[in-house]
Amino acid sequence: MFLKLLQVGEPVLRRPARELSREEILSESTQQLILQMHETLREAPGVGLAAPQVGSAIQLAIIEDLPEYSRDIPESELIARERRPIPFHAIVNPRLRTVGDVQMEFFEGCLSLAGFTALVQRSREVVVECLNERGEPQVINASGWYARILQHEVDHLNGALYIDRMNSRSFMSLENYKLYWKSESVEGAKKGLGGGEGYR
């Protein structure tokens, strides 16, 4: 069963989600929710989905970046983004910390802002301590696109959206992104949109 993807403006998207106990993680209802979220993510399609996006205010998110999602992206762009396939997994009660000072800026979208994208600057490398879908402790060391996805999903669990971090001049419809900016470098897009470092 596909779940309804809530859109920006829903109160649950702007409130910090509550933590889950190990017993709650292993409960039939949470395991069913994870399964339904996975089906919904693939149907969308997307690379990450947080429980608040489907109306559950709990510290749970899922991630999966299938190889076919990158099929139409030029190799040079995949290298620049440091994007590689990521197998399905869940993160529960995550605690994220950034590593180093390197920031990377790329276009980012969200299933709760359907049809839009913007440039978002995020840390290149992160460490996430969390529980997995079986309630087991995990430490995830991630860089590049994976680190971006983790930051995006943990933001959701804290009531934040990418529009809170975006370069505001770069906010646009996906249609116009594909029409005008998809083949541009990030720097080329920023220059074309008339936004320098002062614009956030």
pLDDT digits (tens, 9 = 90+) for 99-155: 999 999 999 999 999 999 999 999 999 999 999 999 999 999 999 999 999 999 999
Decide: 146 and 104 in contact? Cβ < 8 Å: no
And the tokens for 182? 């998809």
- For residue 69 the two structure tokens come to 């999602």
Contacts with 123 (C-beta within 8 Å, 6 or more apart), sequence order: 98, 99, 100, 102, 103, 104, 147, 151
- What digits encode the pLDDT tens for the residues 5-46? 999 999 999 999 999 999 999 999 999 999 999 999 999 999
The pTM score is: 0.94
Measuring CA to CA, how many Å separate 69 from each of 42, 45, 72, 168? 10, 9, 8, 26
Q: How far apart are CA 62 and CA 20, in angstroms?
A: 15
Name all domains of the chain by residue range, CATH numbers in brackets: 11-192 (3.90.45.10)
Annotated active-site positions, please? 153
Q: Are 149 and 65 in contact (CB under 8 A)?
A: yes
